[in-house]
Amino acid sequence: MEKSKKTILSKILKITGITFVISLLAFIVLPIIFADTITEKVKVLANKNLFLWQFLKGGVGNQMIFSALFANQYIAPLLYLFIMGKSSEAYGAELFIMLGGVFATLGFLLIQANNLNKDVVEA
């Protein structure tokens, strides 16, 4: 019995060590391989003309709405789990609740972008 525990523990430690080394190598090597792609993506995100940056500059109200929608993606699933307790039937729905928050945030931003484009086209 003692020997089987040691072999299981050694297998777990080997798998964990190998996974850690591979992850560390990936974190070091992948940015070197994809340096150009990463640079392009950073330049796009740093663009001050992106819709989200314009929307957030629109005022404190816009910032509060976006913050609430963004936080809802993470708070709603946790509240669900807190309310449902530790029953095994409770698990699984929190993923769909989180995805609902993601879709609500994206839908809101798409509607706002559409309204902004309408104002630009009409002007």
Q: What is the pTM of this model?
A: 0.46
Give the Cα separation of 113 and 5 in Å (integer).
58
Give the pLDDT score at 10: 86
pLDDT, greater one: 11 or 123? 11
| Residue whose pair of structure tokens reads 């777990």 in the numeric block | 12
pLDDT at 21: 93
Domain ranges in the chain are: 1-46, 48-123
pLDDT the model gives residue 75: 84
